[in-house]
C-alpha cells in the first residue's frame, strides 16, 4: 500500500535526523533520484528540521537577532515544503495522466500531496509524543497523559492513511480527478508583500 510505504519512509527520515539532532546537518537522501520515495524522504526531512526550528525559536532566552534569523529560515522552509508538495502532486499527475475521469467524477477538497503533507506531520507528532512517554524526568501522570495522546495520534494516522488510499483508488478508477494550483505565497514575494514593496517607494 502507498501509505504503508510513505509512513515507513517518514519514520526513517525522522530517525535519521535524530541520529544527529542538528538542524544544520545536511540532507543525505538514501533513495534514487527521480523516484517518489526520494520526494517523500526529502519532504519529511524538511518537516523534521522545521519542527526543531520551531522548538528553538520558542526558547524564552533566545537572542532576538538569532530569533529573527530563525524566523526567516522558517519562512524559507515553508516555501520549500510547499514546493515539495507540488513536486509530489506533479509526480502523481503524471502517473495518472492516462486515466479518463468518469462523467460524474468529483474533485477532492485537497490534492493527494496535501493529504500526504498532513501524514508527514503526523509521523513527527507520533515520534515526539512517544519520546514523551519514555521520559524519566517527569511523573507518571505526564507519561500517562502523553500515552493517551499517542493513541489518538496513531488512530489519526490510521484514518488518514486509509483516506489517502481511498482517494488514490478513486483517482485511478476515474471516480475522482486531480486538479492542482500553484500555492501563491505572498509574504515571500517582494512584489506582493506590502511591507516589502512599500520600502521601494521610500
pLDDT in tens, the chain (202 residues): 999 999 999 999 999 999 999 999 999 999 999 999 999 999 999 999 999 999 999 999 999 999 999 999 999 999 999 999 999 999 999 999 999 999 999 999 999 999 999 999 999 999 999 999 999 999 999 999 999 999 999 999 999 999 999 999 999 999 999 988 776 566 666 776 776 667 655 5
199 in a structural domain: no
Q: What is the pLDDT of residue 184?
A: 59
CA dist 142 and 45 (Å) reads 28
The length of the chain in residues reads: 202
**Residue 123's closest CA among 29, 15, 26?**
15
Residue 107, beta-bridge partner list? 177
195 in a structural domain: no
Q: What is the pLDDT of residue 187?
A: 63
Is the CB of residue 191 less than 8 Å from the CB of residue 197?
yes
Q: What is the pLDDT of residue 195?
A: 63
Q: Strands 106-107, 176-177: parallel, antiparallel or unpaired by DSSP? A: parallel
| Residue 164 CA: distances (Å) to CA of 64, 85, 159, 176 | 41, 15, 9, 12
Sign of the CA dihedral 53, 59, 60, 64?
negative
Q: How many CA atoms lie less than 13 Å away from 44 in the CB half-sphere?
A: 30
Q: Where are the alpha helices (DSSP H) in 58-176?
A: 64-95, 112-133, 140-173
8 in a structural domain: yes
Q: What is the pLDDT of residue 196?
A: 62
**Residue 86's closest CA among 25, 49, 42, 33?**
42
Is the CB of residue 74 less than 8 Å from the CB of residue 43?
no
29 in a structural domain: yes
Residue 131 domain boundaries: 2-189
158 in a structural domain: yes
Question: Interhelix angle for 36-57 vs 64-95, to 10°?
Answer: 160
The pTM of this model reads 0.91
C-alpha cell at 105: 467524477
202 in a structural domain: no
200 in a structural domain: no
194 in a structural domain: no
- As for how many domains the chain has, the answer is 1
Amino acid at each position: 500500500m502507498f501509505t504503508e510505504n510513505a509512513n515507513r519512509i517518514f519514520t526513517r527520515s525522522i530517525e535519521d535526523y535524530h541520529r544527529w539532532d542538528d538542524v544544520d546537518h545536511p540532507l543525505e537522501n538514501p533513495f534514487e533520484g527521480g523516484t517518489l520515495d526520494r520526494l517523500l524522504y526529502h519532504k519529511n526531512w524538511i518537516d523534521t528540521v522545521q519542527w526543531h526550528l520551531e522548538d528553538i525559536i520558542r526558547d524564552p532566552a533566545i537572542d532576538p537577532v538569532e530569533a529573527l534569523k530563525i524566523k526567516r529560515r522558517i519562512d524559507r522552509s515553508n516555501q520549500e515544503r510547499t514546493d515539495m508538495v507540488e513536486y509530489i502532486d506533479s509526480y502523481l499527475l503524471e502517473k495518472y495522466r492516462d486515466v479518463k475521469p468518469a462523467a460524474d467524477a468529483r474533485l477532492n477538497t485537497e490534492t493527494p500531496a496535501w493529504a500526504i503533507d498532513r501524514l508527514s506531520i503526523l509521523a513527527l507528532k507520533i515520534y515526539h509524543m512517544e519520546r514523551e512517554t519514555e521520559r524519566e524526568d517527569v511523573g507518571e501522570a505526564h507519561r500517562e497523559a502523553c500515552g493517551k495522546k499517542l493513541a489518538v495520534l496513531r488512530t489519526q494516522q490510521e484514518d488518514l492513511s486509509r483516506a489517502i488510499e481511498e482517494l488514490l483508488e478513486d483517482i485511478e478508477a476515474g471516480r475522482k480527478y486531480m486538479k492542482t494550483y500553484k500555492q501563491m505565497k505572498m509574504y515571500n514575494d517582494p512584489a506582493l508583500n506590502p511591507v516589502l514593496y512599500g520600502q521601494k517607494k521610500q
